[in-house]
Every structure is written in structure tokens, then in C-alpha cells.
Amino acid sequence: MIVLCTGGSGFLGEMLLRRLVSAGHQVIATSRKGQPARAGVEWLEVDLTDQKSMFRSPVLASIRGVECVIHAAALYDMQAGSEDLYLQNVLATANMLQLARHMPNLRHFCHISTVAVAGDYAGVFHEDMFDVGQGFPDAYARTKFAAEHLVRSATHFKSRSCMRLGILLGDSQDGWMPKVDGPYYVQRLLKRLAPAARRLNPLRFLPVPFTETSKLMVVPVDVTAEAIVQLLPVACEYQELRTYHIMGAASQVSVRRFLVALCDHYGITLEPLPLPRWILPHGLAAKFNIPEDVLPYLHLPWTFASEHLAADLPHFVFPKFSDYAPILFAAADRLHFTRRKVHA
């Protein structure tokens, strides 16, 4: 199958390209900047926020044979502004849907979405659920909701899928992660507390803004990419919209469990003590170099069901958090939390 993958040079995109090529697909990938040659991949230098860049004759000629689109390009950055998030997440998706009209052999449009579209919904969020009156804690969630809405509304493409991802962590095999983001902000904070562990441990408790019922929907990036590529041929067979939550029961890790694992990693024996959001002074997170938009995810009362995924990919196994967490924590220490190199 000829597959066009947007965002091919990104964190997830790079993993997708590896697996698409290994699965025998002919791959075309987009990137805003030129990329080095790669076996099995044809690169298109395209800015998805600029229609002049997208609708050039060479681009249109290259995509005519495309049978499947994986729209993985997006901006995930808790420190990004609303305008950049709108351009990269909403406008780029609208442009891709327009470009897909120039693919006469297109069988399927796969949109990479996120569980963040559930917003502040309290309870179990099922794959068929979308607009249920939820609010959104940040601009990233709002723009990804708007992007998914565009795809869900594009009924002229019969076969479509929205694959909602959890929080992407590093590679489960070597821990590689390109930057500090999401839960890694919390790790950076505990890393800074680690030298004082002996003095802090007698205090017994570590106050942290979280809720006991909250869970982090975490999945290593390589596992996520493998699930998407395995699911793609199945999703192509549906002549309707099909939504998937790319996670299993093992992916839903309580905030407490995540914090305890980090404390164990750094030799901190303090018990996490949950603090309600209202008790925190405004701007306190910024003093610890944690974006304000990260904190709501430590309090959200959601869980996710994956019935469609289980039905269409029944033998896929998501790894246990305890199996890969030490690899991720050690890699973050090595790559991002040394004096030699710290990414903010």
C-alpha cells in the first residue's frame, strides 16, 4: 500500500516510518525541512499550514498514487502559544483534508488524535464518544478537538479513522525522548530534590498537586507506532468512521503510582501527599519550570475504554509500566537532566 505520512520527521513520525517500511508499504513522508535520504521513503518538503507550499505541481504529482494518509503532523508543546497550536493542529488538518481530494486512489484517511479531546469529562470515555459538553484545560486539547472534528465531519471520505493516543513516553527499548515534556517535567523536579533526599525522607510526605483517582494514559512511542501500523490495514476495510484509543489497561497508570516509581528511582522514600489545585498559589508551577498547562492532567477524573481496539487488534499487548519505567527514567537522566545538557 502507498502511504503518505505527515510529520515524518517528528517524534512519532520517525517511529511510524520505520514500521511502515518494515511492513512492506511504499512510504511518502512530509516535513517542513529537507530530510536526509532514507531507504524506502520519498520525502516531500511541505509546510502544511501553507497551501501554496502544499498544492505545487510536483507535490500533486507525487501524491496521485497514495492509498492511505496518516496525518501525524501536530504540535504538542505545553509551552506553545494558542496561535501556533491552531496553525499546526487545526489549519494543517484542514489543509490535509483538502489535499487528500487530489488523491484519486485514496482508500483511507487516518488522523492521529489524542485522548486529550476528552477534556475534563468525568468517567469512562468510550471510543464512540466525542462532543459530550466537556471543557478543555489547555489550548492543545482545544485545538486537537477542533482538528478531530474536521476529520469526523469529512464525510466525503467514507473510510476514516481517528486514533487517539495517550501521553507519548520515550522508546520502551532505549528510553529515547527528544525533549522534556508532559510527565518528564515532574521527573525533572524530583531529580532536583534527589540530592536532598536524606534530609527530606524523615518528613515522610511529599506534597504534590494531584488527585488519588487521576490516571496518566502513558504509552511508549515505539509501542504506539507499532499498534497504529498493525491497525492500519484493518481500519482501511471500514467504510465509515472508526475511532480507536491506542492504549490498553496497562497504559492507565495512576498519578500516585507514577510518582512513587519516580521517588523510588531517586531514592526518595517520601509518600506522595495529594494537594487540591485550589490550594496552589498562581505561578507556583512556573517557579519550578513546570508549565501551568501540565497541572490539570494530574487532576483529571477520566478513564478510557478501548473496545474497538480490542476487537480489531485482539492480540496486541501493551507493556506494563513497571517493565519500561526504569529504562525511561534512566534515559531522561542521561539525555536531559545532566549539567552538560538540559532541555526545557
Task: Give one DSSP letter per residue of 164-206, joined into a string.
Answer: EE-EEE--TTT---SS--TTHHHHHHHHHHGGGHHHHGGG-EE
Residues β-bridged to residue 125: 304
Integer Cα distance of 297 and 238 in angstroms: 33
Residue with cell 532536583: 192
User: Going residue by residue through the chain (344 aa), what tens digit of pLDDT does each one get?
Assistant: 999 999 999 999 999 999 999 999 999 999 998 899 999 999 999 999 999 999 999 999 999 999 999 999 999 887 788 999 999 999 999 999 999 999 999 999 999 999 999 999 999 999 999 999 999 989 999 999 999 999 999 999 999 999 999 999 999 999 999 998 889 999 999 999 899 888 888 989 988 889 999 999 999 999 999 999 999 999 999 999 999 999 999 999 999 999 999 999 999 999 999 988 777 766 666 677 788 888 888 888 889 999 999 999 999 999 999 999 999 999 999 999 886 444 43
For the beta carbon of residue 202, count every other beta carbon within 10 angstroms: 8
Taking phi first (over 0 means left), then psi (-120 to 50 degrees means alpha), and beta for anything else, what does residue 183 get? alpha
For the beta carbon of residue 335, count every other beta carbon within 10 angstroms: 18
Which H helix or E strand runs over 261?
helix 255-265
* DSSP secondary structure of 91-104: IHHHHHHHHHTT-T
Indicate the pairing of strand 252-254 with strand 215-220: antiparallel
Residues 46/106, Cβ–Cβ less than 8 Å = no
Integer Cα distance of 214 and 252 in angstroms: 9
Residues 67/109, Cβ–Cβ less than 8 Å = no
Integer Cα distance of 115 and 244 in angstroms: 10
pLDDT at 316: 97
Taking phi first (over 0 means left), then psi (-120 to 50 degrees means alpha), and beta for anything else, what does residue 175 get? left
For the beta carbon of residue 196, count every other beta carbon within 10 angstroms: 10
SS3 342: strand
SS3 87: helix
- Whole-number Cα distances in Å, 343 to 184, 185, 334: 11, 10, 12
Provide the whole-model pTM: 0.94
- Whole-number Cα distances in Å, 163 to 57, 335, 341: 30, 29, 34
> Quick one: CA dihedral 210, 276, 117, 144, positive or negative?
negative
Burial class of 17 by CB neighbour count within 10 A (0 to 12, 13 to 18, 19+): buried
Packing angle of the helix pair 11-22, 221-236 (nearest 10 deg): 50
Give the strands of the sheet with 41-45, arranged side by side.
41-45, 26-31, 2-6, 68-71, 108-114, 160-165, 241-246
Residues 4/66, Cβ–Cβ less than 8 Å = yes
